Chain A
Amino acid sequence: MNTLVVDQVSKIYGEGDQQVKALDQVSLEVASDELLLLMGPSGSGKTTLLTISGALLRPTDGSIQVGGSELTKLDDKELSKFRNDKIGFVFQAVNLIPFLTARENLLVVRSLGGGKVDAGAKKRAEELLDELGLGSKGDNLPSQLSGGQQQRVAIGRALMNEPAMLLIDEPTSALDSELGRQVMELIRDEVKNRDIAGIVVTHDERVLDFGDRIVEMVDGKIT
């Protein structure tokens, strides 16, 4: 079953002579339990595709469905809730909240949009931290964690709300080879064990063997 269905999606930035076509009628499907690696040179449109798939950006044209919901029909408030409920993001710069501990960085996802941090949320955060090898680091602030540990906290945050899809931007760009492979292994295991769709944008050819499928983009098109 396909979790993500991108159908003839285009994205144009700017107006008039300044127009730039970042995506040109792109179609893509990603199944649950599938880890897709999205590759391509800078400016090829892969980050735009990731951003649109994650309901952070609206396409100029085309249709996006995640878990059967048509994203182009949702308003801004509904998109916020949708992202909170269905999408897990791991950003290139990690972007943990600096004044929250590792555990609180996971729990914060539950408190957004009027949500509450209940006993169930705390239990889930503990389970994720254990699973990610951070059981003893829950009370540490991001500044007290290594780059790899921060990356794992970010993955835990993305998984906190049991999303239908995990979107990850350049997860290994700041890590050495060994750590990079460990992180990719972790991402692959999470996607497989949780039966969710995963898209990883990467330039790193050392991690290609972790993907179920590799899609290349050039000039806003899938090749």
Chain B
Amino acid sequence: MNLAIKELRRTPGRFLPVTSAMTLLVVLLTVLGGFLDGLELSQTGSYRAHEGKSWAFSAPSELQVRRSVIDANTRAELTDSEGVIAVGQLSQVTTTAGTEEAGLDADALRDVVFLGYELATGVLPEPPVEGVVVDQALSDLLAIDIGDDLLIGPNAEPLEITAFVNDVSQGSPTVWASTESWRAVLGVMATDLPPEGASQVLIIEADSSGVLAPAGVQIADTDEVIGALATVQQQSSTFSGIIGVTFVVTLIVVALFFALLTLERILQYAVLKAIGANTRDLLKTLVTQAAAISTVAVVVGIALSFIFIAFLPPDLPLRIEPYRLVVIAIGTLVTALLGSLFTFRRINRIDPAEAIG
């Protein structure tokens, strides 16, 4: 017989306050997690487009693309390295993009990150010989389509749009061209560009044996490169701190609730102990109830979060990722179980003789 579930079903009002409080905390966790993921993903799309590849930076650059310069000799050395299948340049600058139709007023131009690349990935197609591959996010802002000309850079160089790709934003929308087109368009910004034959970083496709870094070069995978971004670090630490505090609040709410419930139930527990229950029987009741309450709170909380998010402005950087929901569900469940176990000592000390009075 499951005492815990019978009590939950027959006296639901008793558990309503703690379930409601936990549900609201789950909503808070889901929305905060959505902002954390939304901000991070919208800053890192161009990096994630190279998932599974290795990155080569000049050593003093601290994995920052714009601080890095890799020369042609280093490229040749890496290309000849054992295990390396292909090496491609990657460079980027921040500039503007617009269309003839929208005009070239400052209000009509959009900030973009303009990248020159050589290697296709699972996300990016082969670099077009002429023209550009454009972030879908820019299509939404400029009402552009494949075949249209995009005016890029301070000279408004026209480049034909050959394809759109999703989820490649880097704070601003991104525009991708072949290294040659990229240099040609940005020729006037020569001071910002790496020397001829060099690039900011190299993208390396290698077999499973990995890549040995030549002297003066630092090799990193995509996750390490993303982790080194200052904005990602700041956002992650801030939101993770808030999410951590929310879990602590959840722990306190559950611990206080079960502490009060245990105080109310001392006579009932004493009776159960007197007729043969042991401490494990009683803890099992608490843990089962904590698990049931947190399960309801997670399901209802996540559902309410989706409803809440539907009413928020669509341009907010908020994305609900499945793994985040799994983390919140498991975190809430574990927190609730820990909270319920705070009463272990009190329950263990209940004297069955108290049942007699």
Q: Please give the residue numbers on chain A whose beta carbons come within 8 Å of chain B beta carbons, in ascending order.
A: 47, 50-51, 54, 56-57, 77, 80-81, 83-85, 89, 91-93, 95, 97-100, 104, 107-114, 117, 141, 157, 161, 169
Inside 8 A of B7's CB, which chain A residues have their CB?
A: 99
**Residues of A contacting B272 with CB < 8 Å?**
97, 108, 112
Question: Given A95-B268, A99-B6, A169-B356 in contact, is the A113-B274 Cβ separation under 8 Å?
Answer: no
Please measure, in the bound complex, the distance between the C-alpha atom of A109 and the C-alpha atom of B275, giving whole angstroms: 7
CB neighbours (8 Å) of A95 from chain B are 267-268, 271, 355
Can you report 21 residue pairs joining A to B where beta carbons are below 8 Å apart?
Answer: A50-B356, A56-B355, A57-B353, A83-B274, A83-B276, A89-B355, A91-B274, A97-B3, A98-B268, A100-B6, A104-B1, A110-B1, A112-B276, A112-B277, A112-B281, A113-B278, A114-B281, A117-B1, A141-B10, A157-B275, A161-B276
A47: nearest chain-B partner, CB-CB = B356
Give the one of A108, A117, A141, A169 with max B CB within 10 A.
Answer: A108
- Identify the interface centre among A47, A89, A112, A113: most chain B CB within 10 Å of its CB: A112
Please tell me which one of the listed residues A57, A80, A108 contacts residue B278 in the complex, with CB atoms under 8 A apart. Answer: A80
Number of A-B pairs, beta carbon distance below 8 Å: 84
Q: In which size bucket is the chain B interface?
A: 20 to 34
> In this assembly, does B73 line the interface, its C-beta being within 8 Å of a C-beta of chain A?
no
Contact with A along B1-44 (1 / 0, CB 8 A): 10100110011000000000000000000000000000000000
Nearest-neighbour CB distance to chain B for A107, whole angstroms, equals: 6
Checking B273, B351, B357 against A92 with a beta-carbon cut-off of 8 angstroms, the contacting residue is B357
Decide: B281 and A93 in contact? CB cutoff 8 A: no
Contacts of B356 in A (CB 8 A): 47, 50-51, 56, 89, 91-92, 169
**Which A residues touch B275, using CB under 8 A?**
83-84, 89, 108-109, 112, 157
Given contacts A56-B355, A108-B3, A112-B276, 6 further A-B contacts (CB under 8 A): A56-B351, A80-B277, A84-B277, A95-B271, A112-B281, A113-B278
Q: Does B352 contact A (CB under 8 A)?
A: yes
B-side residues, CB < 8 A to A, are 1, 3, 6-7, 10-11, 267-268, 271-278, 281, 351-353, 355-357
In the bound complex, do residue A113 and residue B281 qualify as a contact, i.e. CB atoms below 8 Å apart? Answer: yes
> In the assembled complex, how far is the CB of residue B159 from the closest CB belonging to chain A, in whole angstroms?
73
